[in-house]
Structure 1
Amino acid sequence: MFDELIPLSHCMTAKKTATSPIAYHAGHYYDAGQFNGSVRHWVNRLQSQPVQRYALFTNDAYPFAVMLLALFHAGKEVWIPGNNRPGIALQLQQLDCQLIGDWDATKPFDYCLESTECSSLSLLPLDPAETRLVIFTSGSTGQPKPVDKQLIQFQLEIETLEKLWGKKLANAAALATVSHQHIYGLLFRVLWPLSAGRCFHSDCYINPETLVKGTHDAAAYWIASPAHLKRLDQGSPWERIASLYAVFSSGGALQHEVAQQILACSGQQVIEIYGSTETGGIGWRLQGNEPLAAWTLFENMSLTQTDDRWQLHSPYLQIPPRPPFPKGVAAPLPLISSKGEITQTLTSPPFGKGGQGGFQLDDQIILQDDGRFMLQGR
């Protein structure tokens, strides 16, 4: 629940029950004691390395969580690419990134998930404003773009999500059919569960059939996308889907017909999240039988219109962006194509567009009198 959230900056220093399950990975539950041991093992190893910038890619979410926290506590700069294709790997290496994780299928990476030799290593809380990562947009509206994010931005968003849905989710486990290498999966699959003390499943399930088999009859919720939800049909495991505590969707608007089918067959009203890598979450909605459901802005957000464009004012964007590189490092941020080619470069991340104090949205919006809004395309 909200009052029990552990700040991401204190995940490795807060007192918690050592046997509390953190994640379900490779057929086993890993508890807080094992997680702490693995993270501290990697902090000890990484602190002795002169490399500052790491590109982290993992197939599974639990090893990702271990490495991400270890890199943060070792004072490293973390880049999170959307995939591990050879072209992407080459370009990241040219930008002085050390590849870490599942980059070479012929050489399985040992995450040392059973390590205990550094379990007593003393760690300090992270500075949520200084701790940051570079994550890429999905490229759905062009080439993937790098965005510099601070830990405090994720924490503020987690607090908002927990206020809205913490009681609904209770102690349910997070299961997903979306990757943790993009911001939606990173936040909903890894960071939010870590902060809220909920177990998350490491596998990225390929379809709802395998996902519901992974629930082991326990309380669970589904982190999905419209692409997965629209493939549901009359043969889908509706009874098991009905037992889920919640179904989330992001990455595009869910078609009304799909939302209606899910509601009719399972009783689930999909919780849709609207946002972007640059802005984080902007709003949410529940679709029912009505054809046009409006979006509700998240807490403390507002929209203003200037010259036919809409500006978002969000607490997640009020933290001044920091320079994307340590002192003395002049390499620019790349814009990487789906083929792994650099198409252009940026010397700073695209934090805002067109106006001080607000972020210019690409979407056209109709703002209603009650503060909710409708999306009208681009």
Structure 2
Amino acid sequence: MKTADFYSWLCHGANPDSVCFFDDKCAMQGKQFNQLISHYTKILSEHKAKSWLVHAQNSDWFAIGLVSAILAGKTVILPANTQPETLNKMRTLVEAELSPTPSFSESDALHLQKVERFAHEMWPASSDLGRLILYTSGSSGEPKAIEKSICQLAAEIENLERCFSADFASEDTRIYSTVSHQHIYGLLFKVLWPLVTGRAIFIPLISYPEVLFDAFHSRKNKVLISSPAFLERLTSEKTNGFNKLLVFSSGGPLSFKGASLSQEVLGVHPIEVFGSTETGGIAYRQQVSNNTTWQPFPKVNVTCDAKSKRLRIQSPYLHNTDWYECDDKISIEDTGKFRLLGRIDRIVKIEEKRVSITAMEKYLLQHSDIEQAVITVLEHTRRQLAAVIVFKPSGEKQLQKMGKFQQSRLLKQYLSKEFELVTLPRKWRFVSQIPLSSQGKRDQSALRELFEHD
């Protein structure tokens, strides 16, 4: 097991001779990484802004921005995604932006970029570490701020190494990822845990299986940080060269079919991790048989309400030792392991992306041509969202002029300003009124029936 002390790492930085980040063309050594951290920490320390929006497509610049801001004692704010409308809305919540691709004005942004000469090469000393705030979809439909202390992150990194280090094939294992580091799962598994333990990180995000196969070519001792959405799209066309591989999956429960496909193609059943931004990691499993139970992480206590089956936990990753109520229903086995029975609130997972149905409906209602909007969930081969729209007279004229296909396409473009493409409704219905029950509430059954015949 490697040393996994986040506090110690923040005091000393990366091993100068190690590889921190790499791609097919080059590698960033620990010395260069440390120099960039020193450079940007100094600039941030002298900047008057206290709260910074940090985002980047690639993991190297994201890590440089994140660590520099923490060492400079700043409040680091991570947006739920990097869509233009999302970043624009975050302007009122922060004072400045830190990114390789800033969208704020020049006076309110610090552009992360290559540095030709370094005036400060020593790792910066910090007596006042910053704090981290992640934004995720809240049940009210508005972005929900979740603060994570350095202590909480340190506890989780240490626990991950303690639980899984024995599964790593060797000391020179390299980390690949198909998930974003803007969320807690990618932040921990893709960036912080590897950095602290000295494991090299593949810079680009892997978006397609064929890219994964190319990246894995002739390389041994690999760890893949992935999700059900990616793993369930694997094909068995290429299966060579995947020996000594460890796979993690999170963002939603992986189907048994997906776990089996991963075993067939990659040669290993993924280690699934269950948790949330609020709670951190709660439990894990390897689904070698259908509907395998979840094993709580060490130091995480799990129980559930006898009537509602609502999951309750005590965890070192929370702000206190009180019991925390989650939005999931479970059944607990005599062994202490548990099974998931579904969600309680109106937050749903689409392609492992957490989406607030309330927020999407609210955003549609801001459209000048829409009178009413309802989003419903369709459970087909893959879970997807569907939209039912009642237009205002102006919208009706547009619908008659343009047709249903073009109108739904325009509404998707409108939603893409705020929501990620994979989460957008796949099906649309334009009606004169929303189906209601005898009690005047939305008739969910009738809503779903609108989509039974395409």
**Is TM-score (shorter-chain normalized) higher than 0.5?**
yes
TM-score of Structure 1 vs Structure 2, range by shorter chain: 0.7 to 0.9
Q: 1:73 to 1:28 in 2, by over 3 A?
A: same
Alignment of 1:27-46 (within 5 A): 27-46=25-44
**For the residues of structure 2 that align with 1:118 and 1:26, how far apart are their CA atoms?**
29
**For the residues of structure 2 that align with 1:13 and 1:188, how far apart are their CA atoms?**
21
Write the letter of the residue equivalent to 2:40. Answer: W
Write the letter of the residue equivalent to 2:165. Answer: G
Structure 1 residue 201 displacement after superposition: 1.1
Tell me how large the CA RMSD over aligned residues is. 2.5
Q: Which residue of 1 aligns with 2:59?
A: 61
Structure 1: state its 5+ residue gaps.
321-355
Alignment deviations for residues 53-93 of structure 1 (CA, whole Å, 9 cap, x no partner): 10011010011111111111111110001223332222222
Write the letter of the residue equivalent to 2:274. Answer: Y
How high is the sequence identity, in percent, across the aligned residues? 31
- Counterpart of 1:123 (choices 108, 125, 145) is 125
**For the residues of structure 2 that align with 1:122 and 1:155, how far apart are their CA atoms?**
19
Conservation of the 8 A alpha-carbon contact between 1:37 and 1:115? no
Deviates more, 1:268-277 or 1:77-86: 77-86
**For the residues of structure 2 that align with 1:216 and 1:37, how far apart are their CA atoms?**
31
Q: 1:75 to 1:105 in 2, by over 3 A?
A: closer
Alignment deviations for residues 137-180 of structure 1 (CA, whole Å, 9 cap, x no partner): 26799554220111111111111111121132233111001110
Which has the higher Rg, Structure 1 or Structure 2?
Answer: 2
**For the residues of structure 1 that align with 2:225 and 2:325, how far apart are their CA atoms?**
28
Q: What secondary structure does 1:67 align onto?
A: helix
Q: Which residue of 1 aligns with 2:330?
A: 365
Write the letter of the residue equivalent to 2:326. Answer: L
**For the residues of structure 1 that align with 2:193 and 2:63, how far apart are their CA atoms?**
11
Structure 1 residue 13 displacement after superposition: 3.0
Alignment of 1:225-240 (within 5 A): 225-235=227-237, 237-240=238-241
Q: 1:256 to 1:204 in 2, by over 3 A?
A: same
Structure 1 residue 12 displacement after superposition: 4.4
**For the residues of structure 2 that align with 1:249 and 1:363, how far apart are their CA atoms?**
18
| TM-score after normalising by structure 1 | 0.81
Q: Which residue of 2 aligns with 1:303?
A: 302
**For the residues of structure 1 that align with 2:260 and 2:291, how far apart are their CA atoms?**
12
Greater relative CO (CA pairs within 8 A, separation 6+): 1
Q: Which residue of 1 aligns with 2:262?
A: 262
Q: Which residue of 2 aligns with 1:276?
A: 276
Write the letter of the residue equivalent to 1:94. Answer: T
Conservation of the 8 A alpha-carbon contact between 1:53 and 1:79? yes
Structure 1 residue 96 displacement after superposition: 3.5
Alignment deviations for residues 319-376 of structure 1 (CA, whole Å, 9 cap, x no partner): 44xxxxxxxxxxxxxxxxxxxxxxxxxxxxxxxxxxx811101111110001110001
Q: 1:60 to 1:138 in 2, by over 3 A?
A: farther
Conservation of the 8 A alpha-carbon contact between 2:73 and 2:131? no
**For the residues of structure 1 that align with 2:147 and 2:312, how far apart are their CA atoms?**
20
Aligned length: 334
**For the residues of structure 2 that align with 1:17 and 1:96, how far apart are their CA atoms?**
33
Q: Which residue of 1 aligns with 2:425?
A: none
**For the residues of structure 1 that align with 2:16 and 2:202, how far apart are their CA atoms?**
18
Conservation of the 8 A alpha-carbon contact between 1:12 and 1:36? no
**For the residues of structure 2 that align with 1:22 and 1:368, how far apart are their CA atoms?**
42
Alignment deviations for residues 239-289 of structure 1 (CA, whole Å, 9 cap, x no partner): 23x32520110000011111122223443111100000000000000111x
Q: Which residue of 1 aligns with 2:50?
A: 52
Conservation of the 8 A alpha-carbon contact between 2:304 and 2:330? no
**For the residues of structure 2 that align with 1:126 and 1:172, how far apart are their CA atoms?**
33
Deviates more, 1:158-167 or 1:177-186: 158-167
Structure 1 residue 52 displacement after superposition: 0.6
**For the residues of structure 1 that align with 2:103 and 2:181, how far apart are their CA atoms?**
19
Q: Which residue of 2 aligns with 1:84?
A: 82
Deviates more, 1:160-169 or 1:208-217: 208-217
